[in-house]
Structure 1
Amino acid sequence: MDRQLLSNIAHTHHPIAAPIFEVNVNRLLRRAGRGPAARILDLGCGEAAWALQALAQHPDGHADGLDINRHGLDRAAAAAADRGLADQLTLHERDAKTYPADGDYDLVLCVGSTHAFGGLTETLDLAGRHVRPDGILLVGEGFWQQPPTPEALAALDATPADFTDLAGLVDVVEKAGWTPVYAHVSDAAEWDDYEWSWVGSLTEWALDNPGHPAAEDALTLAREHREQWLRGYRDVLGFATLVLRRM
């Protein structure tokens, strides 16, 4: 089973690979705006949905997108071509931790990809090295919306220490030398739309391709994920996206 392929199928109807409605993505990017010619970096870009939305708000800008998922990068390239932005988006198939830091990006995005750096604190340090002194770091991270239950911990394969509450998340950010100038906390409707889209896309693909060797795996993965969400972390795990500047 190609897990990267199945992950991309799961995001077919929700290419913004986070529990956020597009209207709120655009609101966050407007607050993070850094002029029409901004230089943008999307770390763990997936299908580059964030980078492409950012380019729509920075018509003379350029974005670099990094990911290790070849399938996602192929979709990103196709989406950029469809939107007439292919010349403004450069995609890199590589580990985000190995990308040279020149400290010259106006806007750096890392939404739902802090695991690529080993956690939030490491992301604030390593991703922050790409940001100009007056630039913006936009980070999306999970937090405990309520004290984690045993079921939630099992579903997420997590420990209570893996996340903090929302106030603690802001404390971590400020301890690392950043401060929020804006933020969005995903609500229940955004979570439900994201999760139902995730499991639904996999299920639809498997039902439409019954002879595919990965079809049964897709159905199994969708069923397992749905159970982990509905009986585990629903209403327990939250998600916040923060627009950060250096203190």
Structure 2
Amino acid sequence: MDLPRKFTIRESSHRIHNPFTSEKLAALGQALHLAPGTRALDLASGSGEMLCTWAHAHRIVGTGVDISTEFTARARARAAELGVTDQVDFIHGDASGYVADEPVDLAACIGATWIGNGVVGTIDLLRRSLRPSGMLLIGEPYWRHEPPDQDSIEACHATAREDYRLLPELIEQFGELGYDVVEMVLADQNSWDRYRAAQWLNIRRWLDRNVDDELAAELRADLSGEPVRYARYEREYLGWGVFALMGR
């Protein structure tokens, strides 16, 4: 049970595995007015940056669950670096079936709603760990503008326009599911640049060291085509944000 090696190569230098900068992550933590002792659960926690930095800045406690052995190890190292190993714990496991032993104040899935087969299933999964009047955090893509054709849709990692929603439609969906949107922090084109461009540098440096690896040809093709495709399509049409939700 692990992430494909290609993904960990692409994001080998990333602390945040989404188009979010450390400044935006900090701004989100501040906007939520997290009280010391807030108990959090982060499903698909990646390298643990959210839990670790919020434990350090706001003295929250919590658990992260992620399928990647490499990212889980990085999360534990980050906790040690920030001196919060007594506040946060990271579990290598399948987040898609994880429910906390005790209700939490904050349940999050930031950019990995595939663990619940989409927004609806992921909210239902998180809700099972959440105390009454607790808060959910969902990180999710949306269309910045209507994609004009199928090429644009597929270049944004979708198969159909319906795979994502426009921002107002996504907020409406949360309401239809019975939740108020009480805060949101959105990626911008600069944070997308930082996320995607860092992948290209990671790939290039890996290729220079691993010319005979079985993944070299595939990653070489990715690096040759992705920057133009990103600039033409993804940077223009695809948005991303983290939404804080509370049940009505």
TM (normalized to structure 1)?
0.89
1:66 is paired with a residue whose SS is strand
Q: Which residue pairs with 1:200 in the alignment?
A: 201
Q: Which residue pairs with 2:116 in the alignment?
A: 117
Alpha-carbon distance between aligned partners in 2 of 1:116 and 1:83, rounded to the nearest angstrom: 28
1:32-82 Cα shifts (integer Å, max 9, x gaps): 2431111111111111111112212332x3221111111211221222222
Alpha-carbon distance between aligned partners in 1 of 2:33 and 2:53, rounded to the nearest angstrom: 12
Q: Which residue pairs with 1:20 in the alignment?
A: 20
The alpha-carbon distance between structure 1 residues 213 and 82, as it changes in their structure 2 partners (threshold 3 A), is farther
The 10-residue stretch of structure 1 (222-231 or 172-181) with the greater mean CA deviation from structure 2: 222-231
Confirm whether residue 42 of structure 1 aligns to residue 53 of structure 2.
no
Q: Is the 8 A contact 2:41 2:100 kept in 1?
A: no
- Structure 1 residue 95, shift from structure 2 partner: 1.9
Alpha-carbon distance between aligned partners in 1 of 2:23 and 2:234, rounded to the nearest angstrom: 25
The one-letter amino acid paired with 2:67 is I
Gaps of 5+ in 1: none
Q: Which residue pairs with 2:221 in the alignment?
A: 220
2:241 is paired with a residue whose SS is strand
Alpha-carbon distance between aligned partners in 2 of 1:69 and 1:10, rounded to the nearest angstrom: 14
The alpha-carbon distance between structure 1 residues 234 and 3, as it changes in their structure 2 partners (threshold 3 A), is same
The alpha-carbon distance between structure 1 residues 220 and 95, as it changes in their structure 2 partners (threshold 3 A), is same
Q: Is the 8 A contact 2:99 2:125 kept in 1?
A: no
Alpha-carbon distance between aligned partners in 1 of 2:70 and 2:218, rounded to the nearest angstrom: 18
- Structure 1 residue 230, shift from structure 2 partner: 3.0
Q: Which residue pairs with 2:32 in the alignment?
A: 32
Q: Is the 8 A contact 1:199 1:223 kept in 2?
A: no
Q: Is the 8 A contact 2:105 2:131 kept in 1?
A: yes
Alpha-carbon distance between aligned partners in 2 of 1:92 and 1:168, rounded to the nearest angstrom: 34
- Structure 1 residue 220, shift from structure 2 partner: 3.0
Confirm whether residue 180 of structure 1 aligns to residue 184 of structure 2.
no
User: % of aligned pairs identical?
Assistant: 27
The alpha-carbon distance between structure 1 residues 217 and 87, as it changes in their structure 2 partners (threshold 3 A), is farther
- Structure 1 residue 20, shift from structure 2 partner: 1.4
Confirm whether residue 81 of structure 1 aligns to residue 66 of structure 2.
no
1:12 is paired with a residue whose SS is coil
